[in-house]
């Protein structure tokens, strides 16, 4: 019997003959966000010791589901949308991660986001693996009825792999408490019983947790304060620039302002505003809630969107979408500290530029982990049907975030690496240790 050919230079039956880190369904010439994640894993591999033999586990999603999402539009026509749910790793527990509705969502993006969720969950040591989902749709073009129908159909399509002990979705870009309520109801109807624990980020009246909406922004603020203690920065005198002013950037900006900092610039999809003396954050939040963006806020000057990266500040918080800080603008940033409220806002090339310039980057995989931490609290409360006060939630959140950040800081100091690499060291060791203990079945 003839043998199948193996790669040139690879001996038959050698690991190189059977292992390829790149799935066949991705374009090797355009890996997108997944390529960024792979670079991050490669950087951490030398620090994994004996666990490095499992490193390809991190480079392959456990399960990838692509679904067609057909719905009736209000005009009677039928439209089809592409949906995804990716479970990157479940060695430490069920998958956990958000669902985003955005017209530019891709499989590569959802894969990367699911992998960053694996890292994030392990970094704060909650018993979850990483997962993520999305639909290629601009929800602003849908009516409320169409949005409900696309949510319910998507939930039914991915229902075969989600569940309170399998994979627990949550809100992400362009999804919210109402979307989670529809997802929970759809799953429950299909199961024949109410399953509040199938999603987190729900309305409080449906088993949601107090403090969940503010949790990610509160986590951003908490790690910022901890980093300031290590670096000698006085938060009460800091100038802050925020990109994205929703549940993450808005809450973080509010908390920094309450601590005495001046929020001098804010950018969102409506434009960029600036006030050297500091913006009135409560008034701005009320304006954004009423209007939908920072556009038209009267107590600030409008500046060009690209000028946002030149704003003199001490703390920059990118809290919008991926790949916002690139090699094209990283050299212009004047902040002393970047706190990543968004997922993947900094490219590896920009990371290196910021590092070489002495700008401290608090990476997404630890900085914005407050959301999934309180999602974990919500999940626990749903299982027990016993709910905690908001003060208890916030106290537990701050304790976990401080502990996790302290551990990452120590690893960074010991290994003389960036906080991002240090976070990956901590998280990857936890994930791969669990993989090693469980072994392979069968």
- Give the residue numbers annotated as catalytic, written as ranges: 132
Asked whether the beta carbons of 324 and 309 are under 8 A apart, the reply is: no
Sequence-distant (6+) residues with CB within 8 A of 293 are: 268, 269, 270, 271
Burial 78-87 (b: 16+ CB within 10 A, else e): eeebebbbbb
Question: Look-up: residue for tokens 């790949």?
Answer: 323
Phi, psi of 326 (to 5 degrees): -125, 180
**How far is Cα 195 from Cα 207, in angstroms, rounded to an integer?**
10
Contact, 142 vs 149, CB < 8 A? no
Residue in the structure block whose two tokens are 């429950």? 188
Q: What is the rounded distance in angstroms from the CA atom of residue 143 to the CA atom of residue 23? A: 37
User: Residue 332: is it exposed, middle or buried by C-beta count within 10 angstroms (0-12/13-18/19+)?
Assistant: middle
Comparing C-alpha atoms, which of 122, 114, 91, 129 is closest to residue 441? 91
Could you give the angle at the alpha carbon of 218 between the alpha carbons of 215 and 221, nearest 5°?
155
Buried b (16+ CB within 10 A) or exposed e, 264-298: bbbbbebbbbbbeeebbbeebbebbeeeebbeebe
Going by their DSSP bridges, the two strands 301-303 and 271-274 should be labelled as antiparallel
Pair type for strands 315-318 and 239-243: parallel
Residue 335's alpha-carbon distances to 184, 239, 303, 360, in angstroms, are 41, 9, 18, 9
Mapped onto helix, strand or coil, the DSSP state of residue 236 is helix
Helix spans in 64-204 (H): 107-123, 144-158, 177-191
Element (H, E) at 83: strand 78-89
**Could you tell me which residues are beta bridge partners of residue 163?**
167
Q: Which two tokens stand for residue 413?
A: 């100091």
């Amino acid at each position: 019997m003839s043998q199948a050919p193996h790669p040139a230079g690879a001996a038959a039956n050698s690991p190189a003959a059977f292992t390829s880190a790149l799935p066949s369904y991705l374009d090797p010439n355009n890996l997108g966000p997944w390529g960024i994640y792979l670079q991050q894993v490669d950087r951490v591999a030398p620090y994994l010791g004996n666990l490095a033999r499992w490193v390809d586990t991190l480079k392959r999603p456990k399960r990838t589901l692509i679904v067609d999402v057909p719905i009736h539009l209000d005009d009677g026509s039928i439209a089809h949308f592409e949906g995804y749910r990716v479970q990157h790793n479940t060695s430490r527990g069920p998958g956990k991660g958000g669902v985003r509705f955005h017209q530019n969502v891709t499989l590569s993006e959802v894969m990367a986001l699911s992998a960053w969720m694996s890292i994030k969950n392990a970094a704060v040591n909650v018993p979850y693996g990483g997962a993520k989902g999305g639909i290629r749709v601009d929800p602003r073009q849908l009516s409320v009825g169409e949005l409900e129908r696309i949510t319910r159909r998507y939930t039914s399509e991915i229902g075969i792999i989600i569940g309170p002990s399998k994979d627990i979705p949550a809100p992400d870009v362009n999804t919210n408490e109402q979307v989670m309520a529809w997802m929970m109801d759809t799953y429950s109807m299909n199961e024949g019983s109410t399953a509040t624990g199938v999603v987190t980020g729900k309305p409080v009246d449906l088993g949601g947790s107090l403090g969940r909406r503010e949790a990610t922004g509160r986590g951003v603020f908490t790690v910022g304060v901890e980093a300031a203690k290590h670096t000698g920065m006085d938060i009460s005198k800091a100038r802050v620039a925020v990109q994205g002013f929703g549940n993450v950037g808005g809450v973080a900006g509010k908390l920094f302002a309450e601590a005495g900092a001046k929020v001098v610039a804010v950018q969102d999809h409506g434009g960029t505003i600036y006030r050297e003396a500091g913006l009135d954050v409560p008034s701005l939040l009320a304006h954004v809630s009423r209007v939908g963006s920072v556009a038209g806020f009267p107590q600030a000057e409008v500046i060009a969107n690209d000028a946002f990266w030149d704003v003199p500040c001490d703390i920059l918080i990118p809290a919008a979408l991926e790949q916002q800080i690139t090699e094209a603008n990283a050299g212009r940033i004047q902040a002393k500290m970047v706190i990543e409220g968004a997922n993947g806002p900094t490219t590896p090339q920009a990371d290196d530029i910021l590092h070489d310039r002495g700008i401290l980057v608090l990476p997404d995989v630890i900085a914005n982990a407050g959301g999934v931490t309180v999602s974990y609290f919500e999940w626990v409360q749903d299982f027990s049907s016993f709910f905690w006060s908001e003060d208890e939630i916030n106290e537990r959140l701050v304790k976990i975030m401080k502990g996790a950040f302290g551990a990452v800081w120590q690893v960074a100091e010991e290994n003389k690496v960036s906080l991002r690499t240090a976070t990956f060291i901590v998280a990857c060791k936890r994930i791969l240790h669990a993989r090693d203990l469980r072994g392979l079945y069968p």
